[in-house]
Structure 1
Amino acid sequence: MSEPRSTVERSGLPHRLEAVGEALTSGSDVLEACAVAGGELARDGASVAEVVDALRVTWQELTGSDPGLDVVQTMLTAWSETTLGYLHQLSCEDPLTGLSSQAHLRSRLSELYRLGDAVRGPVVGAYALVVFGMRPGDDPVEAPVDHFTRAMRLARAGELARTAFARDETVARVGTHRVGILTRRDEHLGRRVQVLRTLLEGVEPGSPVRVWIEGLPGTDAGAAMLFDELARA
């Protein structure tokens, strides 16, 4: 037998908003519940209007008032990030920055692991991943959740990366504020990384940008774990 439903679930709140109602009535972290619900609604295919309507119905039902700006912002931020993540998986190009998508970079690397490199040998010795990050809070005009501003900065940084790595390298967005460059490992790699660092510091004066060479794991599964870690940081 199934367990009895909670009072909130029995009250007829919109789908995916039951946990938000529980948090609201119990005094627990309602913003965290909104973030989870926003992601779930995005995966369900709900539109922005449907998300806002469901949130308003929940608040009106339980408090008699409309939700605050911080609540709406948290819900829509989670919705947009989940939606963009889905779009990234469908496309070879990140829709906001014009860089290659993280999924495309992973696919390219997986192909190299499968085929190896007939000329240079194993992937680990033949290739490297150059990574740099634009710190989310180092621009005084950027709000903490201003995804558009952050994307434009990444797009600009990506163009500089293509200046330093102008051959057949894959330059891709990794997570919300990092760029990864899949490149051959040769005697010029260190110098090209230094050129990239100089170019990036030219557009971020007074804020040194961290650029590093990430060694590739021995297996494709290890590479997948590395990408997940880079994307979350």
Structure 2
Amino acid sequence: MKIFATLGRRLAAADPGVSEPEPTVERSGLPHRFEAVGEALTSGSDVIDVCSVAGQELARDGASVEETLAGLRATWQGVTGDDPSYDVVTALVTAWSETTLGYLNQLSCEDPLTGLSSQAHLRSRLSELYRLGGAGTDAGIGGYALVVFEMPSGGDPSDEPGDHFTRAMRVARSGELARTAFARDETVARLGMHRVGILTRRDDHLGRRVRVLRTLLDGTEPHGLVRVWIEGLPTTDAVAGMLLDELARG
């Protein structure tokens, strides 16, 4: 993946007489991935959501942030003759950065912003348990459960779009409380923007520890009650991966 590739490197085979390489232009006359943005501008439709989609797609393509911004500016000037607004740039860059960060998180055992385990690490731990034994054995997945909690939304500064740091600190504090209630060898991982998942043994103390966790979280959360629940684990590894993806999107 060429996240940090530059336009100059990608166009190194171009005419050496060209000193300032331009963004790749499609037959429509617009940079790649910006065709829908141009259509929205021409039709007078809302472009914020379209720019967010373009930012996500460019991040998945491995485009650098410089290349992404260059494509946005070229599109805006080509259609309107002006530069894009602050809100449009913010939507594009936020989508690009969140998608890129999500990719980087999949490569690491630790979420870089919160210090909690990454979703990829939790996924790996689950796969190990499925390999150990069948769903009905204590050694396998049947002896484990996934405790999930979700921070309330609304009324908190971390709910502002683009405020990644405040949101991460909020989740990190909650993760430390989770480690107080689940202080053994549990895996405490970040799931998406507002959720944390805890892979723990299913034993006679599970219900009491979940109640302790709920009390700790509610005692430090001024913006509403924290939702805490025990998620049943599927009988197959593939379905468990789909479950984690669904939880992370929630």
TM (normalized to structure 1)?
0.89
The amino acid of 2:249's aligned partner reads R
Task: Extract structure 1 runs of 4+ deviating beyond 6 A.
Answer: none
TM (normalized to structure 2)?
0.84
Relative distance call for 1:143 and 1:44 in structure 2 (3 A) is same
Does residue 1:123 correspond to 2:135, yes or no?
A: no
The amino acid of 1:73's aligned partner reads T
Select between 190-199 and 22-31 the one with higher mean Cα deviation. 22-31
Does residue 1:185 correspond to 2:177, yes or no?
A: no
CA distance in 1, matches of 2:88, 2:46: 11
Does residue 1:137 correspond to 2:121, yes or no?
A: no
**Given that residues 137 and 144 in structure 1 are in contact (C-alpha distance below 8 angstroms), is that contact kept between their aligned partners in structure 2?**
no
CA distance in 2, matches of 1:142, 1:27: 29
What is the deviation of 1:149?
1.0
Select 2:219's aligned residue among 188, 191, 202. Answer: 202
Summarize deviations over 1:11-46 as a string: whole Å, max 9, x none.
532222122112211233422221121012112222
Summarize deviations over 1:113-165 as a string: whole Å, max 9, x none.
111289725413x0000000113424156423312211110011111111111
Does residue 1:32 correspond to 2:49, yes or no?
A: yes
CA distance in 1, matches of 2:162, 2:72: 20
The amino acid of 1:127's aligned partner reads Y
The amino acid of 2:138's aligned partner reads R
Does residue 1:114 correspond to 2:137, yes or no?
A: no
Task: Provide the residue aligned with 1:86 in structure 2.
Answer: 103
What is the deviation of 1:48?
2.1
Relative distance call for 1:31 and 1:141 in structure 2 (3 A) is closer
SS of the residue 1:15 aligns to: coil
Does residue 1:147 correspond to 2:173, yes or no?
A: no
Select between 215-224 and 177-186 the one with higher mean Cα deviation. 215-224
Gaps of 5+ in 2: 1-24
Does residue 1:157 correspond to 2:174, yes or no?
A: yes
**Given that residues 175 and 230 in structure 1 are in contact (C-alpha distance below 8 angstroms), is that contact kept between their aligned partners in structure 2?**
yes
Task: Provide the residue aligned with 2:37 in structure 1.
Answer: 20
CA distance in 1, matches of 2:116, 2:186: 12
Select 1:72's aligned residue among 78, 89, 92. Answer: 89
The amino acid of 1:102's aligned partner reads Q
Gaps of 5+ in 1: 1-7
Does residue 1:101 correspond to 2:118, yes or no?
A: yes
Task: Count how many residue pairs are aligned between Structure 1 and Structure 2.
Answer: 225
* Structure with greater proportional helix content: 1
Summarize deviations over 1:34-81 as a string: whole Å, max 9, x none.
112101211222222222222112111110111122211111111011
Task: Provide the residue aligned with 1:46 in structure 2.
Answer: 63
CA distance in 2, matches of 1:119, 1:61: 63
Relative distance call for 1:141 and 1:96 in structure 2 (3 A) is closer
CA distance in 2, matches of 1:101, 1:189: 23
Task: Provide the residue aligned with 2:11 in structure 1.
Answer: none
The amino acid of 1:134's aligned partner reads M
